[in-house]
Amino acid sequence: MPVGEALRVSFQMIRVNKLRAFFTVLGTVMGVTFLIAVITLITGMDSYMKEDFAGKVYGFNSVMLRRRPSVTMTDDPELRRMWRRRQPLTFEDAEWLGERMETPGIISISSDRGGKVSGPSGRTLESVRISGASASFFTARDMGVEAGRVFSEQEAARGVPVVIIGKDVADKLFDVGSPLGQTVRVQGFPYRVVGVLEKQGSLFGMSMDNVVIAPAKSRVNGYVNPHNVVDEITFKVSDASLVPRAMAEMEGWMRIRHRLHPGDPNDFELETASESMAFWNKIATYLMLALPLLVGISLVVGAVVIMNIMLVAVSERTREIGLRKSLGARRRDILAQFMIEAGTLSGAGGVLGIGIGIALATLVSSISPLPARVSMLSIVLSIFLGVGVGLAAGVYPAYRASRLDPIEALRSE
């Protein structure tokens, strides 16, 4: 039987026996749905972590110096006490490092804390991220302004009360007109708005535009942190190949600065985006390793169901098989017919599973901060798996059909 004719018969059987066809491919649909949904979410999350999380939290091609890790996954009280006993980082530390670093780059400081910001109309926003930073912070983090300007080195050094506001703050405090030149109160202190940041988007559902950034030496000094203390000192280089060199140099200078002996552990943390991403890469690896096992269980169940349904179909169509053989159909023709039918059924289940999987991943992405990105590899893999499961499950029923004696088959009722 030609392949085209076999496919036509297969789709006709699906149309005639809709309910049976549905239960036949149910296992394949579930397996492929799970495969597509999970890979889509993992792929989206991986892209999100590498492109958004790394850039917004750490900055690209940057080394971040902190008193304690920026992300912690431990509740060990002794470890937390050890972090608290460490020397805090200060403005002087950043200046001292900046004078000695030989690796070409940009050094910046920043600290932040939640607080209140009020507009000229008296409207007040709670839980705004108030940041104190150096003028170089914007270059180090690749942050631009859509209106106005960033504050200058001179303004930062003198602690002039000027501020750059995020898009959300600008939209909520200033309904009409430009915020530039207007006065906002940051924790009660007046600041003149000189710039509005370009839209930064969100990070795990948290808006990155709900922020105001003022010079670290202005009145936010002492609020976001104790006086002259900073959360982090960042050193940005022009190329990723310079990051290890900058990191080693910063470590050496800070050990000298803190008078640490050769055998003493560091009393500070040095982080890069690639090192911090190692934790996510480990999780993604575990998920990808567990995925074949979980999908395999559904596909095995689906294969067993398909095989049993196909055996029933062989029994029901025994007379048809006998008639085909009596008209000259060879064993391989019967074998191919039932194999194609099984593959078509399972392939249709795979296509249905792809659609449901993408819809499920999109739904999860729309109601949660988890991103979704459809991978073409997962779609191709799902189609091959769907058809492959059907072909594997259809081997035995097709073999039985091809072995039927035509005379005995014609006598069947």
The pLDDT of residue 55 is above 60: no
Per-residue pLDDT at 50: 66
Q: Kindly report the three-state secondary structure assignment for every residue of 333-382.
A: HHHHHHHHHHHHHHHHHHHHHHHHHHHHHHHHHHHCCCCCCCCHHHHHHH
Q: Token pair for residue 194?
A: 């000189």
Q: What is the pLDDT of residues 354-377, one digit of tens each?
A: 888 888 777 877 776 667 777 777
Residue 4, both tokens: 């085209």
Mind listing the pLDDT tens digit for each residue in 245-256? 999 999 999 999
Across-strand partners of 128? Answer: 115
* Rounded distance between C-alpha atoms, residue 113 and residue 390, angstroms: 58
pLDDT of residue 103: 93
Average pLDDT score over the chain: 81
Q: Encoding tokens for residue 135? A: 């003028």
Over range 284-300, report the average pLDDT.
Answer: 72
Contact indicator for 159, 135 with CB cutoff of 8 Å: no
pLDDT given for residue 255 in this prediction = 94
**What is the per-residue pLDDT across 107-154, written as a single tens digit (0 to 9) for each?**
999 999 999 999 988 889 998 999 999 999 998 888 889 999 999 999
CA distances in angstroms from 395 to 4, 96, 140, listed in the order given: 20, 75, 62
Number of Cβ atoms within 10 Å of the Cβ of 19:
7
- What 3-state class would DSSP assign to 274? helix
Give the residue-averaged pLDDT of 217-234: 92
pTM of this prediction exceeds 0.75: no
Side-chain-side CA neighbours of residue 377 (13 Å): 6
pLDDT score, position 10: 63
Interval 323-351 mean pLDDT: 76
In sequence order, what DSSP letters do the residues of 203-256 get, joined into one string? Answer: ETTEESSSEEEEETTSTTTTTSSSTTEESEEEEE-SSGGGHHHHHHHHHHHHHH
* Domain residue ranges in the chain: 3-52+281-411, 87-267
